[in-house]
Amino acid sequence: MGGQRIGYIRISSFDQNPGRQLDQIQTDRTFTDRASGKNTTRPELERALAFVREGDTLVVHSMDRLARNLDDLRRLVQELTARGVCVSFVKEGLIFTGDDSPMATLLLSVMGAFAEFERALITDRQREGIDLAKKRGAYHGRKQALTPAQATEVCRRAATGEPKAALAREFGISRDTVYTYLKRAG
């Protein structure tokens, strides 16, 4: 295929180095997300998927960088290859074209299952760590988005009919957060 080589990089936290993932891999353009791989709702992934065209190759360091969920991984690879886009996983040394052998399909499923399993282990360890910190009294949860006075103001103004979207913009929070505060207030 003679199209462009489009890189996709995903790192989970700001202290990770995105440069190592496609280091010394030639790409024409690269999209980088700083987000969890728990789902595919990531702005740069969405931009990369919209950008790639038939004949292009999407180059990803490893399968777990594209998706941590087997269903998402398989869906993304199938959607891309159906559009004529190759998907290349550098670490695994696998390229998917849509004309893949049964062995390649098996490897995608097995490696994707490992990525999903690893994500489940991370979640379990995180939950265990939070539980231990709570027992020690060291964990107090996430910092509230609004002060008690701001929360009262949001609820009061929403009760008078002000649009929730306008309140969210004014207070720098999401509409969902507005609804959470309204629900807490009863």
Instruction: Show which residues are catalytic.
Output: 12
Q: Which residue is associated with the tokens 């098996």?
A: 106
Token duo for residue 79: 């959607």
Token duo for residue 181: 């505060």
Find, among 39, 53, 49, 38, the residue nearest to 8 by Cα: 49
Amino acid at 80: L
In DSSP notation, 133-164 reads HHHHT----SPPSS-HHHHHHHHHHHHTT--H
Q: Give the start-end residues of each E strand in the chain.
A: 5-11, 29-34, 57-60, 86-89, 94-96
